[in-house]
């Protein structure tokens, strides 16, 4: 693992020096934007059980390429995805077309909130998205949090601030919760921190029946934590369509 870490640190320092020459005010910009929320006048309820897909599709629209059928009971929690209809979407990186975090379902959330966190070196944005859905036939609501973690935060300050804000949203919700996405947990300290945050909010991780989550440094990057949800058939299978392998599971209510 040390051999993987040293090049990352070296490249980060070089890029920081180069960027500082072209943009002297770079380090004065905030690394986290204010939370932006949108309320829907006509929310529609979500129906359980749900077949859930969690995937960093690496800007490939891989779910469409792979021919995965989207049904009334589907929920897709995607990172580096393009916007689509029937979605809650938070734009992140933009070149010709914005990509970001996306939650696709046939339901319409009561409200959704999002914000951008910026890489300390490159200042490319990573987005976090929170959506609250009414639950069919219940006086309750489902919170879904989709996040794409900051990558090049070597001292962990920017990454921890992003994670802490995400789990603060979880603390404020008393109904069922799904927290999922690409956490960029390529260091043991990051894994330890998210486990501590999840445990503090009563969020747990189910056992994988098949676990091929991407592990470039030996540690998984992608996670699913839940509370008040029964998780069945949690698995991550190989896919050639992205540098991350998808996670799938069935979610029902406790």
What are the residue ranges spanned by the domains of the chain? 27-253
Given a cut of 80, whether residue 5 has pLDDT beyond it is no
What confidence score (pLDDT) does residue 221 get?
97
Given a cut of 50, whether residue 92 has pLDDT beyond it is no
What confidence score (pLDDT) does residue 97 get?
41
Q: What is the pTM of this model?
A: 0.81
What confidence score (pLDDT) does residue 30 get?
57
> Of 35-39, 97-101, 103-107, 203-207, which one has max mean pLDDT?
203-207
Cα 193 versus chain centre, distance: 16
Instruction: Render pLDDT for 143-186 as a digit per residue (tens, 0 to 9).
Output: 999 999 988 777 788 889 899 999 999 999 999 999 999 999 99
Given a cut of 80, whether residue 24 has pLDDT beyond it is no
Instruction: Render pLDDT for 49-59 as a digit per residue (tens, 0 to 9).
Output: 999 999 998 75
- For 229, the token pair is 């949800």
The residue ranking higher by pLDDT, 157 or 78, is 78
Least Cα distance to 134 among 124, 125, 144 occurs for: 144
Mean pLDDT across the stretch 98-111? 84
What confidence score (pLDDT) does residue 65 get?
40
CATH assignment of 27-253? 3.60.10.10
Taking each helix axis from N to C end, the angle separating 157-171 and 188-200, rounded to the nearest 10 degrees, works out to 20
CB 227 within 8 A of CB 201: yes
Q: What number of other Cβ atoms are within 10 A of residue 46's Cβ?
A: 23
The counts of H helices and E strands in the chain are 4, 13
Instruction: Render pLDDT for 123-147 as a digit per residue (tens, 0 to 9).
Output: 678 888 999 999 999 999 999 999 9
What confidence score (pLDDT) does residue 68 get?
56
What confidence score (pLDDT) does residue 21 get?
39
CB 253 within 8 A of CB 228: yes
Instruction: Render pLDDT for 184-232 as a digit per residue (tens, 0 to 9).
Output: 999 999 999 999 999 999 999 999 999 999 999 999 999 999 999 999 9
What confidence score (pLDDT) does residue 100 get?
76
> pLDDT tier at 73 (50, 70, 90 boundaries)?
confident
Distance CA 94, CA 101 (A): 12
């Amino acid at each position: 693992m040390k051999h993987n870490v040293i090049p990352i640190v070296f490249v980060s320092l070089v890029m920081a020096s180069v960027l500082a020459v072209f943009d002297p005010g770079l380090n004065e910009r905030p690394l986290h934007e204010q939370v932006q929320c949108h309320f829907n006048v006509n929310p529609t309820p979500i129906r359980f059980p749900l077949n859930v897909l969690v995937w960093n599709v690496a800007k490939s629209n891989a779910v469409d390429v792979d021919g995965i059928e989207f049904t009334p009971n589907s929920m897709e929690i995607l990172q580096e995805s393009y916007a689509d209809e029937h979605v809650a979407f938070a734009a992140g990186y933009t070149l010709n077309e914005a990509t970001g975090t996306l939650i696709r379902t046939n339901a319409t959330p009561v409200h959704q909130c999002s914000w951008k966190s910026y890489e300390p070196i490159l200042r490319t944005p990573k987005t976090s998205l929170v959506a609250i859905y009414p639950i069919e036939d219940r006086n309750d609501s489902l919170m879904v949090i989709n996040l794409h973690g900051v990558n090049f935060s070597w001292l962990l300050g920017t990454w921890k601030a992003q994670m802490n804000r995400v789990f603060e949203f979880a603390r404020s919700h008393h109904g069922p919760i799904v927290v999922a996405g690409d956490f960029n947990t390529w260091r043991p300290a990051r894994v330890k921190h998210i486990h501590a945050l999840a445990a503090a909010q009563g969020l747990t991780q189910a056992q994988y029946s098949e676990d091929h989550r991407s592990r470039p440094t030996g540690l998984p990057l992608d996670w699913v934590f839940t509370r008040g949800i029964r998780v069945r058939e949690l698995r991550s299978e190989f896919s050639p369509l992205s540098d991350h392998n998808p996670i799938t599971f069935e979610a029902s209510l406790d």
